[in-house]
Amino acid sequence: MLHLLPLSTLLLLPQILASPLSPHAESKPLPLLIWHGLGDNYAADGLRSVGDLANETNPGTYVYYIRIDEDAASDRTATFLGNVTEQIAQVCADIANHEILSKAPGLNALGFSQGGQFLRGVVERCGDTVKIRNLVTFGSQHNGISRYQICKEGDWLCRSYVGLLKANTWGSWVQGHLVPAQYFKATNDSTGEPTDDYLDASNFLADINNERGVKNATYAEHMARLDNLVMYVFAEDTTVIPKESGWFAYTNATSGEVTGLRNRTIYTEDWIGLKKLDEKGGLHFKTTEGGHMQLGDKVLTDVFRTYFAPSKASWRDAGAVEQEVIEL
């Protein structure tokens, strides 16, 4: 049966089609969040060049460089010294109150090294107020690290913190103040199960991976809402140990045997929504050449075109168009 539109709606079709919300109008890229890694800061030239490349690839991209402090030196210190749970809460509040980010229909996000799992923390803990649609991580520690081999050569500030980390990883002060300790993971090599010390004391990772007995169902709901989670591992990474952590894999420290995510309980019981995300085609495992954070423009440009292009995710979304027509 043919259904005719009301005359009032037909008269307004030209305005609807010309509206920026119309599917025929030019799309505007979603804003892009970038969270840097350990020892870096939000104002660093290298990070800004990534934002410039994002804008060059998808013109009109608003780039927001996540920071814990407006002072660049203090922001760098916060990558070593701070409570990750509090930092994520601060970042969620900053985004939710931001004039541009808070009004966008969604956000894209790019996380470098530890910034990747911290952005995942934003998705899981703040998914109702910070609506990330696509998250791409490079060399992140999603399943934690088993060794503190995290410092760049000559970075004595980092090395001084590592000395404290090794002395008392599970102490309450260390877990509340030293950032890398909060994604350190200890496991029993014979079983692959996390140790009681880790489950009892971990300030960040054990919670965000829903590894404790009581699960937070909201974390899984929020992760499953993503359009895409894209996880890059650096083929020659010797900084993140084990490097397969970037794919949520478990690596036996004794035998070197790797158990992929799809064979782990976190996936089969869908503790954080990765299985549901995978079933809809939104979970992607990628490898790029080089050592930790040796990243070229070619790979980044491909990410921007494949996952952040306006045709994939833009200000013009179906819900907005539908709302515009309904209000007529």
> Does the annotation count 94 as an active-site position?
no
**Environment class of 128 (CB within 10 Å of its CB; exposed 0-12, middle 13-18, buried 19+):** exposed
- Within 8 A by CB and 6+ apart from 290, the residues are 234, 235, 236
Q: What is the distance between the alpha carbons of residues 81 and 38, in angstroms, rounded to a whole number?
A: 10
Angle between helices 217-224 and 114-126 (to 10 degrees): 110
What's the CA gap between 203 and 82, in Å, rounded?
11
Q: Please tell me which residue in 36, 142, 222, 292 is annotated as part of the active site.
A: 292
**2 φ, ψ (degrees, to nearest 5):** -85, 125
Selection from 198, 221, 206, 205 nearest residue 270 by Cα = 221
CA-based nearest residue to 38, from 79, 86, 83, 81: 79
Q: Which of 27, 113, 140, 245 is catalytic?
A: 113
3-state DSSP call for residue 35? strand
The Cα 144–Cα 182 span in angstroms is 9
**Catalytic-residue membership of 237:** yes
Determine the straight-line distance between the first and last CA of the chain, rounded to whole angstroms.
24
Element housing 167 (H / E):
helix 156-167
Q: How far apart are CA 157 and CA 76, in angstroms?
A: 11
**Known catalytic membership, residue 284:** no
Point out the catalytic residue in the list 207, 237, 270, 278. 237
Which residues are known to be catalytic?
113, 237, 292
